[in-house]
Amino acid sequence: MGTVFRFAGRTPLNEQDQADALTEACAFLHAADEMFSLYKPESPLSRLARGETKVADLNPIVDEIWNACEAWSVETDGWFNAFTPDRIFDPSGLVKTWAASEAARRLLAAGLTDFAINAGGDVWLADGVTGERSWKVGISKPVTIASPEAGILTVFDLFNSPMRAVATSGTAERGLHIWNPRSSEFAENELIQVTVIADDLVKADVWATAAFAEGVDAVARLNRVPNLEALFVLRDGGLAGTDGLVNYFAKVEGE
């Protein structure tokens, strides 16, 4: 995965129990990285890519993720695809937020309920998050954080809603890296960024990737997905969004 995960929140646990819970969650994230990273030559996925093993011989979690990717491919009408044009299995469009969700489950089981996770810019909020301001999630401008133009594009407010997750796909930090499954080329279209709000983190992540691959025509498709809204940023500076997105823009404090 090769990204940074950050936990923030409030805890009812004592210092030792909190440390133990976080250690277990982080151990899972590290194990997932060792399992699924294609940047680590000896990872199971790298060995699979080289044809040195097969899914049936690997940890059952690999088969679980394989099946989840296939299910999401069907759900998105093929716009989410975990295979590169070279037919290498690359579940990076799902596995980061899957791992974050699994880490969150471990923290919840330990008694932590008032917290959020930032998984490389994708955000998940627990049901027990307290304080209205804690439900506000800032969306970065579609430029690299090293740019002098970097900053906040807008802020979404998920308070008193079914939404728990925000995920963004785009070209700002990694350039063109999302494949168009229909052309087997990089998805170079009218978009530079798609942000999805949803009731589930993996759902938000997958649909952000799929929508970016499809282009602005995905607005109509996403309008049919329950508990999901999306903001599209176009290369010409224009914006597009799903029908209910306006309900989630944070109001200026004092209004």
- Determine the pLDDT at residue 90: 93
- For the chain, 255 residues long, the average pLDDT of each consecutive 10-residue run is 87 95 97 94 96 96 97 96 90 94 97 96 96 94 82 96 95 67 67 95 97 94 98 93 97 69
- Determine the pLDDT at residue 172: 63
As a whole number of angstroms, the distance between CA 193 and CA 208 comes to: 9
As a whole number of angstroms, the distance between CA 198 and CA 163 comes to: 5
Residues 6 or more apart whose CB falls under 8 angstroms from that of 131 comprise none
Q: Distances from the Cα of 247 to the Cαs of 14, 205, 242, in angstroms?
A: 38, 20, 10
Are 40 and 46 spatial neighbours (Cβ–Cβ below 8 Å)? yes
Residues 6 or more apart whose CB falls under 8 angstroms from that of 218 comprise 79, 194, 210, 211, 212, 230, 232
Are 43 and 62 spatial neighbours (Cβ–Cβ below 8 Å)? no
Q: Which domains does the chain have, with CATH numbers?
A: 5-248 (3.10.520.10)
- Determine the pLDDT at residue 254: 58
Give a three-class secondary structure readout of 163-188: CCEEEEEECCCCCCCCEECCCCEECC
Residues 6 or more apart whose CB falls under 8 angstroms from that of 41 comprise none
- Determine the pLDDT at residue 112: 97
- Determine the pLDDT at residue 108: 97
- Determine the pLDDT at residue 188: 63
